[in-house]
């Protein structure tokens, strides 16, 4: 069978295929090498491509950060400008306010006081309020008895305490006692009273009548550094004068005739002293004439007339020492003169020598423990190292007080209800020494009648 040319073609194609296979087989090793190289090249290419892509991807990010950074810087600049503007505005406001208002830190008083030592204040305070300068008058001094201005020669002189008879007959003939600065009154035997008139500025030619001493009057006189003047005495009075070293002028001594004289009145109510007689007795006895330098006034005095702020109305004060009319004095307030007139037996108690009534600016009632010292009825009272109650009366009012005396030679000090020493108004003073078991017999009335 005759083959078609198609087979020849197929044979040639087979040859080509075989050749191709062989060529492929021959070129296999070469292809393998090319494949490895290609692979390496591709990896390198891919690596380079990755780097390029990375670089490409990083390039846009860097550009974005740069833009953000610029924005941040601009924002910071704007914020700083705003803060600077606000700060400047606050500073300008504070500066303008500071011109109108004081800085609070310029007066750190609490801090300074807290750091001061505690002893600074007491040292500084006394120098800030100096004491007022006391008034001085040429040739005059303030009286120790009345608080009034008196001639210096009188103010520095020792006063004289004179025992005054006060029985009815003698009371009607009292002489010279209106010149006394202070008048004491107390019970003696038999329900009678006697007075102790303390003189400083006087010139009377007739003082009395003068009677015998009682020992508690010696104590009263001693409180004023006074010369004690009397006519007669009890043994208790003599003992007290020796005990206290009292300077006395007695009518029963040899000098008595130089000091006293008698008038035509009934004895024993007719012994009288005088200013001249007392001066003679002082010279004969050679007693000290002036107060000692350390002498202290018995009372404190106001420099101006002063009303009591508290207390009860006191238009009339009555002391009923006994049933005798002359031993139950009343003191009636004179609103115009602002003094208390002493009233006995229904009328004003007057000085027979000058017809002046006895009037007092201050009244003191001193309640004391009192009793009979013996069967003769002589009285004694608790005065030394003692204390008690009482009244102070002036300018139409009365207040309750207390009193106290230290030892035998101290002065009796009177205190108000706050415990402060009372201050008297300038003028004369009456002191009624009254039994403390009969306080009801002292009457302080708002009405004079």
Tens of pLDDT, residue by residue over 28-63, are: 444 444 443 444 445 555 545 544 444 444 444 444
| pLDDT number for residue 380 | 97
DSSP three-state, residue 290:
strand
Give the C-alpha separation, 41 to 269, whole Å: 169
What secondary structure does DSSP assign to 425-445, as a single string? PSS-EEEEEEEGGGGGGEEEE
User: What pLDDT is attached to residue 20?
Assistant: 37
- The pLDDT score that the predictor gives to residue 432 is 98
Find the mean pLDDT for residues 196-208: 96
Superfamily of domain 140-285: YerB-like (3.50.90.10)
The CATH number of domain 300-445 is 3.20.20.70: no
C-alpha span between 159 and 201 (Å, rounded): 8
Is residue 75 predicted with pLDDT exceeding 70?
no
Provide the token pair at 73. Answer: 């810087």
| Coil, helix or strand at residue 96 | helix
CA distances from 165 to 8, 125, 207, 417 (A): 202, 55, 11, 35
Confidence of residue 137 (pLDDT cuts 50, 70, 90): confident
Q: Which residue has the tokens 């008895």?
A: 145
Helix (H, G, I), strand (E, B) or coil at 19: helix
Model pLDDT, residue 449: 81
pLDDT per residue over 387-438, tens digit each? 999 999 999 999 999 999 999 988 999 999 999 999 999 999 999 999 999 9
Percent of the chain clearing pLDDT 90 (strictly above): 65
362, 427 contact by CB (below 8 A): yes
Q: Is the pLDDT of residue 263 over 80?
A: yes
| Rounded percentage of the chain residues whose pLDDT exceeds 70 | 71
- Please count the residues of the chain: 449
pLDDT of 340 higher than 90: yes
Rounded Cα–Cα distance for residues 217 and 188 (Å)? 10
Distances (CA, A) of 32 to 17, 18, 36, 46: 21, 20, 6, 20
What is the rounded CA–CA span in Å between residue 280 and residue 387?
A: 38
pTM beyond 0.75? no
Q: With 70 as the cut, is the pLDDT of residue 372 above it?
A: yes
**85 or 184, which is more confident?**
184
Residue 370 has pLDDT above 90, yes or no: yes
The mean pLDDT of the chain is 82
Residue with tokens 């001066």: 279
Mean pLDDT, rounded, for 364-385: 96
Give the helix/strand (H/E) hosting 330: strand 330-334
| Of 360, 352, 382, 48, residue with least CA distance to 177 | 352
* Distance of alpha carbon 144 from the chain centroid: 27
Q: Read off the pLDDT of each residue in 351-366 and give the average, rounded to a whole number.
A: 96
CA–CA distance, 276 with 293 (Å, rounded to integer):
26
Q: With the C-alpha atoms ordered 299, 304, 307, 308, is the resulting torsion angle positive or negative?
A: negative
Is 90 exceeded by the pLDDT of residue 310?
Answer: yes
Q: Where in the chain is the domain with CATH 3.50.90.10?
A: 140-285, 300-445
How far apart (Å, rounded) are the C-alpha atoms in residues 133 and 303? 13
Q: Between residues 136 and 126, which one has the greater pLDDT?
A: 136
pLDDT at 122 (0 to 100):
56
Q: Which residue has the tokens 């030619």?
A: 205
Mean pLDDT of 56-82: 59
pLDDT of 135 reads 84
Residue 25 above 80 pLDDT? no
Q: Which pLDDT band, with edges at 50, 70 and 90, does 293 fall under?
A: confident
Is the CA virtual torsion 122, 127, 131, 132 positive or negative? negative
**pLDDT of 5 higher than 90:** no
Comparison of pLDDT for 131 and 246, the residue scoring more: 246
């Amino acid at each position: 069978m005759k083959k078609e040319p198609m087979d020849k073609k197929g044979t040639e194609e087979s040859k080509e295929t075989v050749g191709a296979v062989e060529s492929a087989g021959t070129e296999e090793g070469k292809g393998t090498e090319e494949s490895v190289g290609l692979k390496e090249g591709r990896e390198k290419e891919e690596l380079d491509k990755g780097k390029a892509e990375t670089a490409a991807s990083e390039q846009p990010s860097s550009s974005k950060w740069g833009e953000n950074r610029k924005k941040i810087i601009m924002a910071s600049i704007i914020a700083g400008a705003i803060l600077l503007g606000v700060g400047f505005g606050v500073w300008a406001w504070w500066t303008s306010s500071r011109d109108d208002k004081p800085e609070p830190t310029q007066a750190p008083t609490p801090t300074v006081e807290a750091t001061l030592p505690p002893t600074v204040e007491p040292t500084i305070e006394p120098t800030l309020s100096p004491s007022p300068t006391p008034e001085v008058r040429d040739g005059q001094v303030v009286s120790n008895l009345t608080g009034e201005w008196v001639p210096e020669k009188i103010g520095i002189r020792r006063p004289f305490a004179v025992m005054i008879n006060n029985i009815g007959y003698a009371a009607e003939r009292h002489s010279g006692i209106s010149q006394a600065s202070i008048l004491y009154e107390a019970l003696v035997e038999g329900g009678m009273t006697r007075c102790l008139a303390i003189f400083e500025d006087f010139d009377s030619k007739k003082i009395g009548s003068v009677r015998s001493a009682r020992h508690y009057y010696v104590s009263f006189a001693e409180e004023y550094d006074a010369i004690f003047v009397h006519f007669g005495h009890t043994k208790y009075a003599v003992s007290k004068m020796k005990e206290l070293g009292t300077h006395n002028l007695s009518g029963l001594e040899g000098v008595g005739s130089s000091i006293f004289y008698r008038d035509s009145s009934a004895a024993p109510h007719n012994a009288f002293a005088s200013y001249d007689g007392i001066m003679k007795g002082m010279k004969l006895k050679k007693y000290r004439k002036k107060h000692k330098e350390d002498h202290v006034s018995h009372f404190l005095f106001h420099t101006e007339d002063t009303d009591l702020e508290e207390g009860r109305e006191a238009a009339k004060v009555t002391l009923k020492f006994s049933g005798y009319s002359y031993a139950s004095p009343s003191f009636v307030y004179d609103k115009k003169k602002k003094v208390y007139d002493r009233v006995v037996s229904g009328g004003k108690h007057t000085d027979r020598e000058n017809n002046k009534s006895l009037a007092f600016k201050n009244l003191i009632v001193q309640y004391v423990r009192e009793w009979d010292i013996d069967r003769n009825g002589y009285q004694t009272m608790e005065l030394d190292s003692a204390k008690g109650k009482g009244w102070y009366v002036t300018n139409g009012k009365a207040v309750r007080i207390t009193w106290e005396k230290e030892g035998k030679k101290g002065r009796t000090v009177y205190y108000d209800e706050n415990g402060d020493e009372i201050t008297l108004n300038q003028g004369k003073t009456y002191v009624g020494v009254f039994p403390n078991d009969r306080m009801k017999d002292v009457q302080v009335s708002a009405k004079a009648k």
